[in-house]
Amino acid sequence: MAVFEYIAKDAGGSEFSGVYTDVENTSDLRQELSKMGYSLVKAQRHKGAGPRRSGRVKRADVVAFAFEFAGMYAAGLSIIRCLETLEEQSEKGALRAVLKDIREHVETGSSLREAFEPHAATFSEFFLGMVDAGEKGGRLGETLQMAADYLEKQAELRNKVRSAFAYPIVVCVMCCLIVGALVIFVIPVFQKLYDQLHVALPGPTLMLILVSELVRHYWMYTVPACGFLFFAGRKIYRMPGVRAFIDALKLRLPVFGKLNRMVVVSRFIRTFSMMAQAGVTVVEAIELAKRVADNHVMVKVAEDLQEEILVGNSLAQPMARHAIFPPMIIQLTAAGEEAGILPEMLGKGVQFLDSHIDRAIKSLLTKIEPVLSVFMGAIVGSILMGVYLPMFDYMGHVK
Residue 49 is predicted with a pLDDT of: 38
Residue 46 is predicted with a pLDDT of: 59
* Dihedrals phi, psi of 44, to nearest 5 degrees: -150, 155
Q: How confident is the prediction along the chain (399 residues), in pLDDT tens digits per residue?
A: 566 777 777 776 777 667 776 666 667 777 777 777 778 777 776 554 344 444 578 888 888 898 999 899 988 899 999 999 998 888 778 888 899 889 888 888 888 888 898 888 888 888 888 888 888 888 888 888 888 888 888 888 788 777 777 777 888 888 888 888 888 888 888 888 888 877 778 888 888 888 888 888 887 887 788 889 989 988 898 888 888 899 999 999 887 888 889 989 998 998 899 888 888 888 988 988 888 888 899 999 999 999 999 998 899 999 999 999 999 999 999 999 999 899 999 989 988 888 888 888 888 778 887 888 888 888 888 888 888 888 777 676 655
**Within 10 A of 395 (CB to CB), how many other CB atoms are there?**
10
Residue 22 is predicted with a pLDDT of: 64
- Write down all domains in the chain, each with its CATH number in brackets: 1-49 (3.10.20), 165-399 (no CATH)
The type of residue at 199 is V
Residue 396 is predicted with a pLDDT of: 65
Residue 330 is predicted with a pLDDT of: 93
- Contact yes or no for 37/14 (Cβ under 8 A): no
Residue 335 is predicted with a pLDDT of: 93
Residue 316 is predicted with a pLDDT of: 92
Residue 95 is predicted with a pLDDT of: 87
Angle subtended at Cα 91 by Cα 88 and Cα 96, rounded to the nearest 5 degrees: 55
Model's pTM, two decimal places?
Answer: 0.69
Residue 398 is predicted with a pLDDT of: 58
3-state secondary structure the chain: CEEEEEEEECCCCCEEEEEEEEECCHHHHHHHHHHCCCEEEEEEECCCCCCCCCCCCCHHHHHHHHHHHHHHHHCCCCHHHHHHHHHHHCCCHHHHHHHHHHHHHHHCCCCHHHHHHHHHHHHHHHHHHHHHHHHHHCCHHHHHHHHHHHHHHHHHHHHHHHHHHHHHHHHHHHHHHHHHHHHHHHHHHHHHHHHHHCCCCCHHHHHHHHHHHHHHHCHHHHHHHHHHHHHHHHHHHCCHHHHHHHHHHHCCCCCCHHHHHHHHHHHHHHHHHHHHHCCCCHHHHHHHHHHHHCCHHHHHHHHHHHHHHHCCCCCHHHHCCCCCCCHHHHHHHHHHHHHCCHHHHHHHHHHHHHHHHHHHHHHHHHHHHHHHHHHHHHHHHHHHHHHHHHHHHHHHHHC
